[in-house]
Structure formats: C-alpha cells, structure tokens
Structure 1
Amino acid sequence: MEEKELQKLVEKISIDYFGKLFRHKASFNGRLRSTGGRYLLGTHNIEINKKYLDQLGMDELIGIIKHELCHYHLHLEGRGYQHRDQDFKVLLKQVGAPRFCRQLLDKPKNRTLKKLLIYQCDKCQLQYKRKRKIDTSRYVCGKCRGKLKKAKEILL
C-alpha cells in the first residue's frame, strides 16, 4: 500500500464511521516502534506504522486508523481526546476501534537477548541469580562468607 492509498483509506473511514471529513495528511512512518500509529496535535496529521499492515493485515490497520481518527475528531471539536477521557472511550466503542493495538510478531533488531547469571558459593552451595555481572573478587556469600563463582548463564 502506498501513501496515496493510505490517504484515501483514512478519508473513507472518516466519512463512513464518523460522518466527517479528514482534511489533513495521513502517512506511513517507519520509525514508529512501540505503537501502531499516532495523531500529531500540532499539524493534525496522522502517522501509521506500516509494519502493522505487513504483519497483522488490513483489519488491524483499519482499527489503528479508527483509533487515531478518534483522537483527531475529538481534538478538533475541543472535546476530551486523550486515552483517559470519557469522550474518547465512548467514541472508541461507537466506531468499534481498539483501545490498544496488538503486539508485533518480531522484536526490533537492536534489542539483545536477556540473560540470567547464576553465581554459587563454594562452601554452602547457595545460589544467587543476577541480571548483571558481579565482581567475584569483591563480593562473598552473604550466608557463610564463602567465595563466589559463576555457575551458569541462562538465555531468556
């Protein structure tokens, strides 16, 4: 789907579900990571995350557009357009828009795997689970003051 098609789709959804014209710009923004779309208060434009269309399909995209149009129309009317406002919640239900979008299937490439480090005392065998490395030459067991050593590392 291209930007022109997105613009026409947003305009159609605005008329069909809200009975009002969408007079601003709708575009894809590839830099959005944690959200399906956003309404820009200053310009009144709507930006959509294209990954949602690619991975979750047209139905999810339409839901995101409806959600952002709720922000758009309520803001222009001077009514409560934020997630916490009653006007916003009521309009979401009327048009069948989701309050939150679903999660994407893949994780961003720049995130690393989480790991769990397990340290064990030489004397009493007590285990310590840590997310970060510890300096075993500086720290000792809190129970018996024995020497700690790295037992294993688990990837989560």
Structure 2
Amino acid sequence: MMNNELQTLIEKTSDEVFGKPFLHIARYNSRLRTTGGRYMLADHSIEINPLVLKVHGMKELVGVIKHELCHYHLHIEGRGYKHRDADFRKLLKETSSPRFCLPLTSSKQKSLSFYIYKCTSCELEYQRRRRMDIKKYRCGRCAGSIKELPISQ
C-alpha cells in the first residue's frame, strides 16, 4: 500500500467513523519502531508504521488509524487529546478504537551467549555476558589467574 492509498484510507475512515473530514497529510514512516502510528501536533499529519499492515494485516491497520484520528479530531477541536484525558478515552470507546497497538516485534528473548572464564588455581568458573580482559582481573576466591574457556553451543 502506497502513501496515496493510505491517505485515501484515512480520509474514508475519518468520514465513516467520525463523520468529520481528515484534511491533512498521512504517510508511512518506517523509522517508527515501538509504535503503530503517531499524530504530529505541529502539522496535524498522521504517520503510520508500515509493519502494522505487514505483520498484523488490514484490521489492525484500521484500528491504529482510528486511534490516531481520535488524537487528530480532539486536538483540532481543542479538547483533551492525550492518552490520559477523559475526552480521549471516551472517544476511543465510542469509535471502538484500540488503546494500544499489538507488538510489532517478537517478544521472544534472544538466546543470550555467555563468556565463560575459569581460575587456573582453584578452577572456579565465572559466567559473564560481557567479555573481560583476563590480564586485568584475578580470581575473587584465591587471586589466581583467569583463563577464557571456548564458548560451547
């Protein structure tokens, strides 16, 4: 979907759901990482993360658009447009708009690799997420020298 198709979709959604026109610019912004979209106060434009459509489909995209249009119309009218405002929450309910966007990235934690070090004297093992300079540090138990063990996967 291109920016002009997004513009048309937002204008159509604004007319059908809110009964008011959307008179400003709508565009995709692929630099958005943690949010589905945002309403720009300065120029009244709406930016949408293209991952919303790619990951979750058209239904979620329309939900994000309705959410951003709530900000837009309330701000234009001079009413409470922020997430914590009663006007905003009321309009979200009236238009069946989502309060939050579904996550755009997988929430699975990456498998963390550890560096394993071993004391040459007492053979105490150390597990570290960050690499350490073995010339700089000694064993905390016996003050022996430390060697790095190969990472096994």
Identity of aligned residues (%): 52
AA matched with 2:115:
L
User: 1:135 aligns to what?
Assistant: 133
What does residue 148 of structure 2 align with?
A: 150
Structure 2 equivalent of residue 80 of structure 1: 80
1:71 is displaced (CA, Å) by 1.3
Cα distance in 1 between the residues matched to 2:87 and 2:150: 53
Stretches (4+) displaced over 4 A: none
Q: What secondary structure sits across from 2:114 in the alignment?
A: strand
Go from structure 1 to structure 2 and tell me whether the alpha carbon gap of 1:88 and 1:120 turns closer, same or farther (over 3 Å shift): farther
Change (3 A) 1:71 1:118: farther
Which structure 2 residue ranges, 5 or more long, are not aligned? none
Shift of 1:6: 1.2
TM-score (norm 2): 0.82
CA distance in 2, matches of 1:29, 1:149: 48
User: Structure 1 62/153 Cα, relative in aligned 2: closer, same or farther at 3 Å?
Assistant: farther
User: What is the root-mean-square deviation in Å for CA atoms of aligned residues?
Assistant: 2.6
So what's the TM-score if we normalise by structure 1? 0.81
Corresponding position of 2:119: 121
In the alignment, residue 46 of structure 1 is paired with which amino acid? I
Contact 1:63 1:97 in 2 (8 A): yes
Q: Does the 8 Å CA contact 1:116/1:154 hold for their aligned counterparts?
A: no
Q: Within 5 Å, which residues of 2 pair with 1:26-105?
A: 26-105=26-105
Shift of the 53–119 alpha-carbon distance from structure 1 to 2, 3 Å rule, reads: same
